[in-house]
Amino acid sequence: MFLNPDVEIDRESLARLLEVSSRQEAPAIWGPYIRDRAHQVVVLQRPGRAGLSFRRRPLSAEELSQETVDVTYVSGACMVANRAIFEAIGGFSDKIFLYGEDLDLCIRAKTAGARIFLIGAVEIGHKGGGSSTKIDRIKRLFRSTRGHYTFLRHHHYRPLGAAINAAHLASGYRI
């Protein structure tokens, strides 16, 4: 399990997340629902719109009521992975430090045959820089853009496409 220090999780939710590992026969990466500032659970989906590789969309009420929801990636703020798949794909890339490492891990795991999903019965809080100053938010935007750019170049995007997609991923906008 990987858990950011700014995550709020209770014992019951933690137990539910870890309990899945005892039932999980196939390689997988999973995590909880994390609501954004609009109180929606937003996921990345492929393909994107307007020439982008990914798009963000909120889960529908029907999806939110399901036991599990298959997704493109699980946020690194709180993710659990089978040790076998984590080791088989070489773990986190040492080329990507923060911002994009979770997406990279999930895409490589999916390519290797792993299931990537969210567990509907578990929801956590993630502060994610909510009390940051404007300067802190700008710095985080640049670090996020750099991390996502590195991820995209690692996945063979050309420089311009990587820059545009990295800016989109870092921005958090729904296009």
Break the chain into its structural domains and give their ranges.
2-129
Q: List b or e across 118-139, with b for residues whose CB sees 16 or more CB atoms inside 10 angstroms.
A: bbbebbbbbebeeeeeeeeeee
Q: What is the pLDDT of residues 41-63, one digit of tens each?
A: 999 988 888 888 998 999 999 99
As given in the structure block, the two tokens for residue 119 are 């567990």
- The fourth-level CATH superfamily of domain 2-129 is Spore Coat Polysaccharide Biosynthesis Protein SpsA; Chain A (3.90.550.10)
Classify strands 28-34 and 115-126 as parallel, antiparallel or unpaired: parallel
What the block records as the tokens of 13 is: 């939710």
Question: pLDDT tens for residues 85-127?
Answer: 999 999 999 988 888 899 999 999 999 999 999 998 888 877 6
Q: What is the pTM of this model?
A: 0.86
Comparing 10 with 136, the larger pLDDT belongs to: 10
Report strand pairing: 28-34 vs 42-45: unpaired
Is a pLDDT exceeding 90 seen at residue 26? no
